[in-house]
Amino acid sequence: MTSGGRSQKRICSLILVPAFFLAMGLAAFSVLSSGEGKIKIYFYSSETNINNFKSLKMAFDRYLAKFGPYEFQPFSNRDIFEKQIKGKANCLLLLSSWHYRHIYKKYDLIPVFTGMRNGKKYQRKILVSGEKAPDMETAKPGLIASASNLQYTLSVLKGMLKKYAAHPFRVLTVPKDIDALMSVGFGMAKLAFASENAFQELKGVNPRLCGKMKILSEGEKTLLLIVARPQGFEESGLKALNIIKNMAQNPDGRKRIRMLGLDGWADLDASDQSRLEG
């Protein structure tokens, strides 16, 4: 081969090699920007009324972007959430333990860990009235304030008040459990459906108001928010689980999980899983 031929070959190599890597980079960018290859974290909780999904999504996406191609997608509607997760394997789910119990068989879900609040992974719902409790025997319990969705609220109320399960409960949806309790305290509702944790918080902030309230009924203890994965979840996605699990270990992560009403995550033992799926 002549020196001129060798020079031309060298020039072609110098052009083709960078071009190849540029093409590969553009292809990878195209995949990521289109959403393919991302591990999505889907969130829907029947127990909380999130009133600013845009802020929640932006906060979590900003945090997750530090670690790789992850996306947080919150939902306000149960049906849309379930349609979105159907048939998907490369995703993680954040959902209430009540919701998980109802769908885990249908969607082949495996629970991984649960939320914690004040060092506890269980919570209890309570029904609270003002100083003068409504006469339940009249089948007119009055307006019930709740931050949970209607389906969950009615389901748990019927379990708490089996004797009055046929009552036509009227529910006022409010942003937070604290708001449900305050609604009773200030006479806007007859009853409040809220968590025991919220009642203790209000007692610390306004003990006088809490002193005028009565706990009429208590629900069973249930696990807090569940992190679950589909059966076909790829091992390459295990990093995403660790990212979520370790959120409480740094200030930015703690801020995000507080938006979900939590302060950490805990593993599930055999007893927890039995109660969760029982």
Alpha-carbon Rg for the chain, nearest whole angstrom, is 25
pLDDT value of residue 159: 87
pTM, to two decimals: 0.82
Q: Are 199 and 55 in contact (CB under 8 A)?
A: no
> How much is the pLDDT for 140?
64
Instruction: Single out the residue of 8, 67, 17 nearest to residue 239, CA to CA.
Output: 67
pLDDT tens, N- to C-terminus, the chain (278 residues):
555 555 554 544 444 444 444 444 333 333 333 344 689 999 999 988 777 889 999 999 999 999 999 999 999 999 999 999 999 988 999 999 999 999 999 999 999 999 999 999 999 999 999 877 776 665 567 899 999 999 999 999 988 888 776 778 899 999 899 999 999 988 899 999 999 999 999 999 999 988 889 999 999 999 999 999 999 887 767 889 999 999 999 999 999 999 998 999 999 999 999 999 98
End-to-end CA distance of the chain: 78
Q: On the CB side of 196, how many CA atoms lie within 13 Å of its CA?
A: 17
Alpha helices in the chain (DSSP H): 3-34, 53-64, 78-85, 97-103, 150-160, 177-185, 196-205, 207-210, 238-245, 251-258, 270-277
- Cα gap 172→155, rounded to integer Å: 15
The token pair at 208 is 């006088």
Per the DSSP assignment, residues forming a β-bridge with 94 are 43, 227
Distance, CA of 79 to CA of 196 (rounded, Å): 28
